[in-house]
Amino acid sequence: MTQQGAVLQGYNNELVKCIEDLCMQKEELNKQIQQAEEEKNKLQHEIQVLSEQLECVCENLAQKVASRNELDKILAETEAAYMKILDSSRTLLNVLKKEVGSLKHTPDLKTN
C-alpha cells in the first residue's frame, strides 16, 4: 500500500506543479492583456485627436476651395468685361480713324 501511496503522492506533486504552471501562464497572459488594452486606449486617443485635426483641416480646405471658386468667378467676369472694353475701344478707334480720314477728303472751310 505504501507503494500506491508513493505513486499517488507523485501524481499529486505533478498535478500541483501543472496547476502552478497554469497560474503563471495566466498571470503572464493577464500582463499581456493589460499592455494590449493600454496600447489600444492610447491608439484610440490618438485616432480621436487625429480625427479632430482632420475635421479642422477639411473645414479649412472647404473654405479655401469656396474662396478660390469665388475668385475664379470674379476673374472670369472681370476678364469678360475687359474683353468687351477692348472690343469697344477697337470699334471706337476704327470709327475715329474713319472720321479723321473723311475729314482729310473734305475741302477746308474758309473763314470770313
Summarised one tens digit per residue, pLDDT across range 18-42 is: 999 999 999 999 999 999 999 999 9
Asked whether the predicted pLDDT for residue 109 surpasses 60, the reply is no
The pLDDT of residue 96 is 93
What does the DSSP assignment read for 17-72?
HHHHHHHHHHHHHHHHHHHHHHHHHHHHHHHHHHHHHHHHHHHHHHHHHHHHHHHH
- Above pLDDT 90, what percent of the chain? 80
Q: How confident is the model at residue 2 (pLDDT cuts 50, 70, 90)?
A: confident
The mean pLDDT value of the chain amounts to 93
> Which grid coordinates are listed for 43?
491608439
